[in-house]
Structure formats: structure tokens, C-alpha cells
A = this chain, B = another copy of it.
Amino acid sequence: MALLVEKTTSGREYKVKDMSQADFGRLELELAEVEMPGLMSCRTEFGPSQPFKGARITGSLHMTIQTAVLIETLTALGAEVRWCSCNIFSTQDHAAAAIARDSAAVFAWKGETLQEYWWCTERALDWGPGGGPDLIVDDGGDATLLIHEGVKAEEIYEKTGAVPDPASTDNAEFQIVLTIIRDGLKSDPKKYHKMKDRLVGVSEETTTGVKRLYQMQINGTLLFPAINVNDSVTKSKFDNLYGCRHSLPDGLMRATDVMIAGKVAVVCGYGDVGKGCAAAMKQAGARVIVTEIDPICALQALMEGLQVLTLEDVVSEADIFVTTTGNKDIIMVDDMRKMKNNAIVCNIGHFDNEIDMQGLETFPGVKRITIKPQTDRWVFPDTNSGIIILAEGRLMNLGCATGHPSFVMSCSFTNQVIAQLELWNERKTGKYEKKVYVLPKHLDEKVAALHLGKLGARLTKLSKDQADYISVPVEGPYKPAHYRY
């Protein structure tokens, strides 16, 4: 795909796979709107006052139908938006087309190369001569990373004249990042500083990105305020858990049509994502084995009737392996060699280094047979036995299926809208320093409340007397900060 920016008739930039899919995307968008009451409520509540009037928002987050409803919620509130995906396989091309045609500048397609991925990210951050975005919606932290690395490089360049050397790292992806920054330095040695200066803040979607932010906060290197959306209860305990419970079997079925009942499924990691995955596999009739490092999570798995063992214990008897850890090097090529023929190996954690794809790709004599896009059989030369890798080791629910369903994403994305509003509204008050914040509980409860009506639920109301008895306001928030749900 030639990396040329295109323009709509109205002059808005984009780069998508196939603009003719815009109508299809629009139809699915309309379906999704009915399933996303939180976002639609935001449009109703905030739309008339146009709170984002004048705000430029850059998003780096899976360009799906659900994200499209988020984007159009941001624009309905007055924002201008540029968007890229945060995963090379996660874009739904019809969603990208609909948004590119109707609402925002989109740079995303399913099946980007890493080179293309970072080009898209750069495009989404590039708002022209006036600097970058006012706000970032980030997922995994790549947009945030690029700015931080850019600023760091510009500082070194200013002091020493040295530019980043892509050859200084083994990591293929980081080489690309350094190249982009190096090339940027040539055209504008203050590019990332300008971005940083303009930026009001970022709201981060996922566990992995949040970890990076807290690390930067600890190191004192965080350049702008950040809201940790992931740790809203209505995000991490819903999207991560119930979303994956839905999308793991969806991805497995679409990619392999395999019968889950009767199989042995190994779920590596029993955090929120792992809990959702294990529940899904158990419910579908699989026998589930969990691997864990944390004794508390391990004990939770046991209480649900799941077996807790090490990967080594079960590597040769299981049928399905799912990594959910957020850590790296979970399933190595040497593990894969011990697996049964046609064992399925997939990852639903944010990054693709949970599975040792590099080890697999470079294993002497290994043969890759692509069954269909995102479903590959890798055959080892000695045994002639193969394993099935989904989505090339990346997020299988987005690579092989369509990610999480609209309803649960409505919870997550309503948090995003509220976080963006919060950053923007307080941009001049100094409320938010260069730190990581979570949303206050009353907003978390509000997000939940917006999603009850659609499911026909009726809440009980506290009397004043009862509220006093348990020392909470009648209208909430109802729980202390440390409450675990």
C-alpha cells in the first residue's frame, strides 16, 4: 500500500483500505449506537453545549465500529479528531471508511506492516504547523511513547547534535520509531516539544499503557497529565473481563471452527482478562488449566474449580493455549515444539511478545502454512507436527474476530469521553499535574448507571436513614476507594 495521504471532498485527510465500504460501516455503526447507551447519553447530555469546541483530539486505539461511535461522540461534542489504530490487525476497514468519509481523519487498515503502523501514528499526531493535538486518547501508549521519545531525542539533539541511531537497538519495531524521530528532527527539531507544549493530557485505555505511565510518573519523566481509564471499575472489571469472555471464543471459532467442548485449554494469567478467558472456556465445555505467578489469583482460580499448574506440566497435553499476562516470553518456541499436533496458540494480551513469534519464525526448517489471514499452521521439521498460531501472536480477538462487543465498549468509552472532558475542562485550572489520575468514583458509578436501562434493570434507592446508617450519601458514591467489586 503506497503511503500517500488522501483527502475527502471536504478536504479532510485519510488513508483507509477501501472507501466503498463506508456505507456498510455506517449501517453497522447505527446498530452499534443502539448498543452503546453510555456514549449516546453523552451526546444527549453534553452535545448541546459543545464542550470540545476548539479541541483537537488524536486517538490511537483499535479502529473498530465501537471506536467509530466513540469518535462520533467526540465530534458530536465539538472536537476535531484524527485517528489511527493501536494494532496492525485490529482495524475494521468498513468502520475506518465510514469515519474517514463522514467524521474524522483516519489512518488505519487491517493488516498494516509495522512501518505503516507508525506512519499512521505519526499522521494521527500531525495537526500541521500549529503543533499537535490538545488531547490524546491512547491505548497501549504508543502515541504517548512517540512524543516522549521524540522530546528526549530533541533534547539530546539540542545539547549534542546527535540524532537517534536505529541500529542501536535489536528491537525491529523500536528501530522504526527511532527512524521516524530521526527523520522528524531533520524537518523540525522542535516538533515534539511543540506537541508536548500544546498537549493538555492523555487518557489511557489499557493495563499495559497504564503500567508505562506509572513507570514514567515514578521516574519523573511524564510530560503531561494522564488519566488512567483502565482502572475505572466500569472499564477493567467489565471490558477486560466480560469483553474477553465474549471475544475469546468468538476469535477461536472464526479462526479455527474448533470445538471447544472436551478440549483442554490453558489460560496463562488469571487477571481480569484471564478470568474472562477461563470463564469462557469453562462455559464452552473445555477443561481449563491456569498458569499464574500470583498466589492470590491462583487461589481464585482454584476456588472456581480450575487446575493451576505450570506451562511445562501441561504443554504436551493441552489443545488450546491463550496468553493473557501482559508479560513477555510466556510461550516460547521450545514449548511449542512439545505441543500436540494442531494445538492452537493465541494471545489476547496487548502486546505480541507474550508468544515467542521471533523464536518460531526463525526456527530452523519451520514451515508456515497460511490457512487464511490470521490463521497460520506452523510445522516443525523434525516431527512434521504443526501448531496453529492466531493473528501472528497479536490480539486474537481483534485480529481474528471483531474485538469486544459494543455494549461493554460503551462502558469503557464513556469513561474515555468523561476523562477527555475532565482534562479539557480543567486545562487551565491546574487541577491535573504531570501525574496519573483515576476518575472519581461518582463518575464511575455514573457510567454504570447509564448502562442499566438498556438491560431493563431497576435500581433500589437508599432512604436517608439507610444512607446515614452506612455513612454514604443517598446519591452515592457508595463504596470506599479500596473496594474491589
Judged by a CB distance under 8 angstroms, whether A457 is at the interface is: yes
A445 and B296 within 8 A (CB)? yes
Q: How far is the CA of A484 from the CA of B238 in the complex (A)?
A: 12
CB closest chain-B residue, reference A301: B457
Minimum CB–CB distance for A401 against chain B, Å = 7
Q: How far is the CA of A329 from the CA of B462 in the complex (A)?
A: 10
Residue from the set A256, A310, A401, A459 with the largest chain B CB neighbour count within 10 Å: A459
| CB contact under 8 A between A24 and B466, given known A259-B408, A305-B285, A310-B458 | no
Minimum CB–CB distance for A151 against chain B, Å = 22
Judged by a CB distance under 8 angstroms, whether A67 is at the interface is: no
B302 and A461 within 8 A (CB)? no
B285 and A456 within 8 A (CB)? no
Minimum CB–CB distance for A259 against chain B, Å = 4
Q: Within 8 Å CB of A446, what residues of B?
A: 295
Judged by a CB distance under 8 angstroms, whether A103 is at the interface is: no
Minimum CB–CB distance for A219 against chain B, Å = 10
Q: How far is the CA of A304 from the CA of B276 in the complex (A)?
A: 12
A35 and B259 within 8 A (CB)? yes
Selecting from A113-121, A424-432, A474-482, the interface stretch reads A474-482
| CB contact under 8 A between A238 and B371, given known A460-B311, A479-B294 | no
CB closest chain-B residue, reference A260: B246
Q: How far is the CA of A308 from the CA of B317 in the complex (A)?
A: 14
Q: Within 8 Å CB of A288, what residues of B?
A: 305
Q: Within 8 Å CB of A211, what residues of B?
A: 470-471
Selecting from A39-47, A49-57, A152-160, A228-236, the interface stretch reads A228-236
Judged by a CB distance under 8 angstroms, whether A250 is at the interface is: yes
CB closest chain-B residue, reference A208: B470
Q: How far is the CA of A272 from the CA of B294 in the complex (A)?
A: 21
Judged by a CB distance under 8 angstroms, whether A170 is at the interface is: no
Selecting from A77-85, A139-147, A187-195, A447-455, the interface stretch reads A447-455
| CB contact under 8 A between A457 and B298, given known A214-B480, A287-B307, A293-B478 | yes
Judged by a CB distance under 8 angstroms, whether A20 is at the interface is: no
| CB contact under 8 A between A306 and B293, given known A231-B482, A246-B259 | no
| CB contact under 8 A between A469 and B313, given known A34-B342, A303-B285 | no
B253 and A476 within 8 A (CB)? no
Judged by a CB distance under 8 angstroms, whether A245 is at the interface is: yes
A286 and B305 within 8 A (CB)? yes
Judged by a CB distance under 8 angstroms, whether A5 is at the interface is: no
Residue from the set A254, A282, A407 with the largest chain B CB neighbour count within 10 Å: A407
Q: Within 8 Å CB of A295, what residues of B?
A: 445-446, 448-449, 452, 459, 476
Q: How far is the CA of A461 from the CA of B295 in the complex (A)?
A: 11
Selecting from A178-186, A261-269, A359-367, the interface stretch reads A261-269
Q: Within 8 Å CB of A260, what residues of B?
A: 246, 405
A285 and B242 within 8 A (CB)? yes
A303 and B215 within 8 A (CB)? no
Contact with B along A89-118 (1 / 0, CB 8 A): 000000000000000000000000000000
| CB contact under 8 A between A371 and B457, given known A262-B302, A294-B445, A484-B236 | no
Q: Within 8 Å CB of A175, what residues of B?
A: none
Minimum CB–CB distance for A285 against chain B, Å = 5
Contact with B along A321-339 (1 / 0, CB 8 A): 0000011110000000000
Contact with B along A235-254 (1 / 0, CB 8 A): 01110001001100110011
CB closest chain-B residue, reference A261: B303
Minimum CB–CB distance for A393 against chain B, Å = 16
Q: How far is the CA of A257 from the CA of B402 in the complex (A)?
A: 7
Q: How far is the CA of A259 from the CA of B458 in the complex (A)?
A: 20
CB closest chain-B residue, reference A476: B294
B242 and A261 within 8 A (CB)? yes
| CB contact under 8 A between A296 and B327, given known A260-B246, A306-B287, A407-B259 | no
Minimum CB–CB distance for A250 against chain B, Å = 5
A304 and B292 within 8 A (CB)? no
A18-41 contacts to B (CB < 8 Å): 24, 27-28, 31-32, 34-35
Judged by a CB distance under 8 angstroms, whether A221 is at the interface is: no
Judged by a CB distance under 8 angstroms, whether A297 is at the interface is: yes
Q: How far is the CA of A20 from the CA of B452 in the complex (A)?
A: 49
- Show 12 residue pairs from A and B whose CB-CB distance is below 8 angstroms, ordered by the A residue: A234-B296, A242-B261, A245-B284, A250-B253, A261-B302, A261-B408, A293-B459, A293-B460, A308-B455, A309-B457, A327-B462, A482-B482
Q: Which 4 A-B pairs have the closest CB atoms?
A: A259-B405, A283-B283, A308-B457, A295-B448
